[in-house]
């Protein structure tokens, strides 16, 4: 239970080196507010990998996801947000296409409500970064119809790997 409060996260964030390339806050019971308080965009501008998986409250609301997206360093190339309770509408609010234009690897696996409808899937597809080359959606219960609605050939023209098992 490391990142429960924003105040503690803010203090910890101030101690992070500007040269940090990888940050793993998985299984920390982290909320979006706590991760935003780390001030990663300014404190760790060179951050390339963020592992925030299995933080059930991380993507609990669209507002929190929007704030989280705005706090992410633009240099991020890999994000793992599997099993964070994400839906397409909330995940879209991260605005990864604009906030993390270099993002090449995204893992949203085990978010069982990620793409429940074709409309949600289409919205999610439109917000994925154009340079994305690996998308993992294992265990998201994505139907063929939803995957089709994401229109990955248009929205992710550089996609090389797609994982949708289960």
Instruction: List pLDDT tens digits, range 111-137.
Output: 999 998 999 999 999 999 999 999 999
Q: Which of 60-64, 77-81, 93-97 has the lowest mean pLDDT?
A: 60-64
* Residue 68 region by backbone torsions, left for phi larger than 0, else alpha for psi between -120 and 50, else beta: alpha
Reported confidence tier of residue 1, pLDDT bands at 50, 70, 90: very low
Q: Which helix (H) or strand (E) holds 134?
A: strand 134-136
CA distance 17 to 72: 15
Instruction: List pLDDT tens digits, range 84-118.
Output: 999 999 999 999 999 999 999 999 999 999 998 99
Angle (nearest 5°) at CA 30 between 21 and 42: 40
Instruction: List pLDDT tens digits, range 2-52.
Output: 555 677 788 899 999 999 999 999 998 888 999 999 999 999 999 999 999
Beta strands in 3-74 (DSSP E): 22-24, 49-51
């Amino acid at each position: 239970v490391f990142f429960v409060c924003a105040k503690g996260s803010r203090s910890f964030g101030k101690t992070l080196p500007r040269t940090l390339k990888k940050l793993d806050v998985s299984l920390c019971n982290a909320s979006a507010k706590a991760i935003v308080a780390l001030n990663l965009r300014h404190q760790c501008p060179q951050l390339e990998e963020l592992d925030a998986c299995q933080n059930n409250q991380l993507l609990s609301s669209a507002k929190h996801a929007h704030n989280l997206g705005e706090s992410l360093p633009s240099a991020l190339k890999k994000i793992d947000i599997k099993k964070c309770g994400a839906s397409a509408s909330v995940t879209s609010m991260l605005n990864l296409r604009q906030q993390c234009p270099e993002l090449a690897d995204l893992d949203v696996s085990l978010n069982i409500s990620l793409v429940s409808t074709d409309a949600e899937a289409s919205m999610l597809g439109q917000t994925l970064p154009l340079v994305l080359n690996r998308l993992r959606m294992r265990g998201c219960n994505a139907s063929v119809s939803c995957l089709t609605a994401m229109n990955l050939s248009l929205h992710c023209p550089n996609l090389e790997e797609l994982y949708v098992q289960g």
